[in-house]
Amino acid sequence: MDTIRFAAVGVALVALSLGASATQAADYVPPGGRIAYALDSLHWAIYQPKDGFVNKQECPDGVNIGPRAQFEALFPDKAHRTVVGTRLRYESDVWFPTAAPDQFVFHEGSGPIASGMNLDGKIGPNDFTSPEGEKGIDNQLYRVLGCIASYRPDDNANDYFDNDEINTDNYNRILIELTGVESLMNSPHVEVTVYRGLESLMASATGSGFVAGGTQQIDTRWGRKYIQHFQGKIIDGVLTTEPHDFVFPWATLGNPADEFMHAARFQLKLTPTAAEGLIGGYTDIETWYLQTNEEESTHHQGYGELSAPSLYKAFRRLADAYPDPKTGANTAISSALRAQFVQVFILHPENPALEASSAMPPIPYAGSPSYPRTPEQARLEQPAQITSENHR
Amino acid sequence: MSFGSEITRRGVRGILVVPAVGLSLLLGSSIALGGSGLTEAYIHVPMPPGFRVVLTDLDGPVFADSSGKTLYDWPRRSLRNGPTGDNKDESECSSTKATVDSGLMSPYPAGLLAPDLDQRPSCTQAWPPARAAANAKPVDNWTIITRKDGIRQWAYAGYALYTSALDRQGGEVLGGSSRRSGGDGPVVRKPVGPPPDVPPGFGVVSTALGRLLVANNGFSVYVSDHDDPGHSNCDALCAETWTPILAPDLSRPRGQWSIIQRVGGVRQWAFMRKPLYLYVEDHSEVHSLKGSDVPGWHNVYTQLTPSPPKGFTAQDTTSGQTLADSHGMTIYVYSCGDDTTDQLGCDYPSETQAYRLAMCGGGDPVRCRWTFPYVLAPKNVRGGSRAAWSAIDIDPMTGRFAQPNQPAALHVWAYRGRPVYTFAGDKRPGDINADGHGEFGGRREGYRAFWLRDDYYAGND
């Protein structure tokens, strides 16, 4: 086992207990200009007003139907159903989806308001206004997920499972460490390093949350891929980082999986004990789709009326960034995550080389492998040229 | 990073261990299963005439019938929408062919017509009951039940016993595995055997690497190179990290098990004269291999699985280590159980391939070959142990065994008689993009990485 920097930890603990008991950033200066946090809550940013679940503006025609209802509609002849002709046909559509037009109506999240960031610095016709009034919000993922019950806030199926396992599954133990911090209120240049930790979070006495001050060792073997560096600054207690590709572990039901964001950036309100805010960027749609299906089967997706084949088609319609150089089809979609972190102490290995970034930078999943298609197949798999009723 | 490394074997003074660094699929070069005779010791239990114990490569000692065929049971278990399998003293496995899905697994409804009905066996054709002669008498845990069809059938510990139509010779366990199952996987048949010869407080579990010795709470047991035979050199400081496994006052040495005296007269268990410990860093993990990362410390196996063929490698991933091809690309296995009440297999090349063809190519065998390529075996390699690694001939257009001299047949590597694959969606060593490709994360039917070590999800169990 690596020797760890107990001395530094001791200093930090004393500093925290004596000098930073308040949860305000104020002029708090972390010892050595270094402070770390562990992710303890993560949700796709789906705007939901305070006045209800399915608001007239977000989903005026209600939420989408899921796999059970689609199965009944696709295969109504109950007397002649076969495993190959129904169940395996549906599963084939899950695992080998196409962008061909959806035979089911797909309701997109709509309305003028959505959470997120202005990723491109512009105010475009498809952009939203944030709940706080900021214009130019880029979050086309909200259109994809906004009217799928599973992703509506308030602990609906996927929203619940995805978040729950962020804090209960150590595979997902995402840490960020800020160095070069002059104060938590203002620092002109900080470096943010992402690691995967090895320890469980320290639960509060009531079990309803997590408390600051836990310790985390770094996963320098299996987690090398997740060691990444961002450059940023702190202004008025808010950390903002420069865009950088970001891969992070997000397993939900027992299969290791990743998410991948192009040009991701953190926007977090910092305190000595916690950090909270958004992670925005362009989510790779093939990686997203793979993660969802490997983690949650059609059965689990049925909890929240999530149809994977329809979801994929919506992704391909609404993806708005990173066009494939060969086909021109967009491969990523503007998106945001609501994130909360709790302060932790990172116990670094004695040998700094163990923390070296992976020699191979992360790459997104390239999607279901292409194979020789007939012209008819290729035509059917082109992005659909239709838009549903809410797509602007 | 172990990319490109060859898998090798190594042993330490008769105890089968996994060395700390590099490749973790490491089985002693000086110890060959069946050659050195170092196979798992078991407790000799009374058996009816004609039955015996057979030592298998993958599942340790198992009961076998007079022809040496492995015996299996099928205990009842609940699935999403109800249970199936045998209750004690009953058999649900009949000679009537099940033709439709039971709807026990969500979300698909009951009544879907099963594929390849013309070739589909009945339950008793796939799992012949272990018949008891008219004059047979119960012996100890061996009892006799009368089936609904009037046939007398042997049972062990209350559960009806069967052989598998897939097993052709002694020592094969192609019908099922004693490795971990449950959850949303099918209700599987498991080989039945005598208890391992370990003292109370210990157990043995089947893993990808071998039969792993564990404490009764499932935590791994370790030995140290720093100890001498019959003597622990782990002092008080060492014992803060490596907890000696204490032997109660009433415990006595037996077989390969002895008791050593620590300082102060404390009694500690030793296996093959090596003192045994738990690792304090194994927090909540059962069957952990983490302690073997510490130089000089090793997991303990009562027997090891046969090594993969030459050319296979081990590869680090984000969750642990997988078996990989010679280029470091992850190896996958496909497993499948159908949703009839019989829960028959659908992954062996003599069984229906309809499920796999859907998962690998939407029903298109050409796309399957593109998406999940077979791992080709050298032409001059024939046969194999069948129980572990073998080279078989496959018709790639059907996924079934090829006919003799069939043109365009592929000569491929198989584990437990089933082909192994790589995934075209993996672009570089360490990718595991198809781990969970299938229904219920591949546990019900689908592809899963060939885990040698999985620090997060015990995929190697």
**Minimal-distance CA residue of chain A relative to B368:** A371
Residue A51 identity (one-letter amino acid): D
What does the block give as tokens for A283? 């989510």
Indicate if B231 and B264 belong to the same structural domain.
yes
pLDDT average, residue stretch A295-302: 94
Lowest mean pLDDT among B10-19, B48-57, B403-412, B431-440: B10-19
Higher pLDDT, B216 or A140: A140
Number of cross-chain residue pairs from A and B with Cβ atoms under 8 Å apart: 145
Q: Which of residues 322-341 of B touch A (CB under 8 A)?
A: 338-339
Higher pLDDT, A369 or A225: A225
Check CB contact of B14 with chain A, cutoff 8 Å: no
Please tell me the predicted confidence (pLDDT) of residue A371: 63
With respect to residue B6, please indicate whether it lies within any of the assigned structural domains: no
Indicate if B58 and B136 belong to the same structural domain.
yes
Check CB contact of B371 with chain A, cutoff 8 Å: yes
pLDDT average, residue stretch B420-439: 95
What does the block give as tokens for A36? 């770390």
Test B107 with A1 for CB contact under 8 angstroms: no
Q: Looking at the predicted complex, does its ipTM rise above 0.95?
A: no
Instruction: Supply the mean pLDDT for chain A.
Output: 87
Which contiguous run of DSSP H or E holds residue A189? strand A187-196
Indicate if B436 and B349 belong to the same structural domain.
yes
Asked, as a colleague might, if the bond just before A372 is cis with ω within 30 of 0, I would say no
CA distance A85 to chain B (A): 9
Please tell me the predicted confidence (pLDDT) of residue A153: 77
pLDDT average, residue stretch A43-50: 87
Work out the pLDDT band at A242, boundaries 50, 70, 90. Answer: very high
Work out the pLDDT band at B154, boundaries 50, 70, 90. Answer: very high
Question: What residues contact A295, with CB distance under 8 A and at least 6 apart?
Answer: A161, A251, A252, A253, A254, A255, A257, B436, B441
Residue pLDDT, tens place only, A130-187: 999 999 999 999 999 999 999 987 768 888 999 999 999 999 999 999 999 999 999 9
Instruction: Supply the mean pLDDT for chain B.
Output: 90
**Minimal-distance CA residue of chain B relative to A254:** B457
Indicate if B284 and B346 belong to the same structural domain.
no
Chain B partners within 8 Å of A297 (Cβ): 184, 439-441, 444
Among the partner-chain residues A222, A254, A365, the one whose CB lies closest to the CB of B316 is: A222
Please tell me the predicted confidence (pLDDT) of residue A363: 86
Please tell me the predicted confidence (pLDDT) of residue A26: 65
Test A95 with B366 for CB contact under 8 angstroms: no
Indicate if B292 and B364 belong to the same structural domain.
no
Check CB contact of B139 with chain A, cutoff 8 Å: no
pLDDT at B392 over 60: yes
d(CA A227, CA A247): 9
How many CB atoms neighbour CB A139 within 10 A? 31
Test A83 with B436 for CB contact under 8 angstroms: no
Indicate if B264 and B296 belong to the same structural domain.
yes
Q: Which of residues 201-230 of B touch A (CB under 8 A)?
A: none
Chain B partners within 8 Å of A255 (Cβ): 435-436, 441-442, 457
With respect to residue B413, please indicate whether it lies within any of the assigned structural domains: yes
Residue pLDDT, tens place only, B178-211: 998 888 999 999 999 999 999 999 999 999 999 9
Please tell me the predicted confidence (pLDDT) of residue A210: 96
Question: What residues contact A177, with CB distance under 8 A and at least 6 apart?
Answer: A34, A35, A36, A37, A192, A193, A195, A346
What is the percent of chain B with per-residue pLDDT over 90, rounded to a whole number? 84
With respect to residue B228, please indicate whether it lies within any of the assigned structural domains: yes
d(CA A247, CA A225): 8
Residue B276 identity (one-letter amino acid): L
Test B441 with A367 for CB contact under 8 angstroms: no
Question: What residues contact A385, with CB distance under 8 A and at least 6 apart?
Answer: none
Chain B partners within 8 Å of A366 (Cβ): 425, 427
- pTM for the predicted model, two decimal places: 0.92
Test A294 with B367 for CB contact under 8 angstroms: no
Please tell me the predicted confidence (pLDDT) of residue B39: 82
Work out the pLDDT band at A55, boundaries 50, 70, 90. Answer: low
Please tell me the predicted confidence (pLDDT) of residue A288: 97
With respect to residue B459, please indicate whether it lies within any of the assigned structural domains: no
With respect to residue B269, please indicate whether it lies within any of the assigned structural domains: yes
Work out the pLDDT band at A3, boundaries 50, 70, 90. Answer: very low
pLDDT average, residue stretch B343-372: 96
pLDDT average, residue stretch A274-292: 97
Indicate if B324 and B447 belong to the same structural domain.
yes
Task: List, in sequence order, every residue forming a beta bridge with A177; answer none if it has no partner.
Answer: A36, A193
- 3-class DSSP assignment, residue A161: helix
**Minimal-distance CA residue of chain B relative to A170:** B456
Test B184 with A297 for CB contact under 8 angstroms: yes
With respect to residue B2, please indicate whether it lies within any of the assigned structural domains: no
With respect to residue A107, please indicate whether it lies within any of the assigned structural domains: yes
Range of the domain at B323: 313-454
With respect to residue A135, please indicate whether it lies within any of the assigned structural domains: yes
pLDDT at A283 over 80: yes
pLDDT average, residue stretch B421-443: 95
Identify the domain boundary among B192, B221, B253.
B192
Indicate if B441 and B327 belong to the same structural domain.
yes
Chain A partners within 8 Å of B456 (Cβ): 169-171, 222, 251, 256
pLDDT at B20 over 70: no
How many CB atoms neighbour CB B66 within 10 A? 9
Residue pair B365/B398 in contact (Cβ under 8 Å)? The answer is yes
What does the block give as tokens for B330? 């992850």
CA distance B422 to chain A (A): 12
Please tell me the predicted confidence (pLDDT) of residue A378: 52
Give me the number of domains chain A comprises. Answer: 1
pLDDT average, residue stretch A31-58: 86
**Minimal-distance CA residue of chain B relative to A69:** B107
Give me the number of domains chain B comprises. Answer: 3
Phi (first) and psi of residue A95, to 5 degrees: -90, -20
Check CB contact of B116 with chain A, cutoff 8 Å: no
Identify the domain boundary among B273, B304, B335.
B304
With respect to residue B117, please indicate whether it lies within any of the assigned structural domains: yes
Please tell me the predicted confidence (pLDDT) of residue A54: 54
Residue pLDDT, tens place only, B95-128: 999 999 999 999 999 999 999 999 999 999 999 9
Indicate if B234 and B132 belong to the same structural domain.
no
Range of the domain at A50: 6-380
Please tell me the predicted confidence (pLDDT) of residue B344: 98
With respect to residue A1, please indicate whether it lies within any of the assigned structural domains: no
What is the percent of chain B with per-residue pLDDT over 70, rounded to a whole number? 91
Please tell me the predicted confidence (pLDDT) of residue A155: 64
Work out the pLDDT band at A253, boundaries 50, 70, 90. Answer: confident
Please tell me the predicted confidence (pLDDT) of residue A5: 40
pLDDT at A209 over 50: yes
Indicate if B76 and B127 belong to the same structural domain.
yes
Please tell me the predicted confidence (pLDDT) of residue B180: 85
> B248-270 burial, b for 16+ CB within 10 Å, e for fewer?
eeeeeeeebbbbbebeeeeebbb
Indicate if B220 and B317 belong to the same structural domain.
no
Indicate if B121 and B242 belong to the same structural domain.
no
Residue pLDDT, tens place only, B67-86: 999 999 999 999 999 999 99
pLDDT at B16 over 70: no
Please tell me the predicted confidence (pLDDT) of residue B31: 28
Identify the domain boundary among B132, B167, B192.
B192
Q: B144: closest CA among B164, B130, B126, B163? A: B130
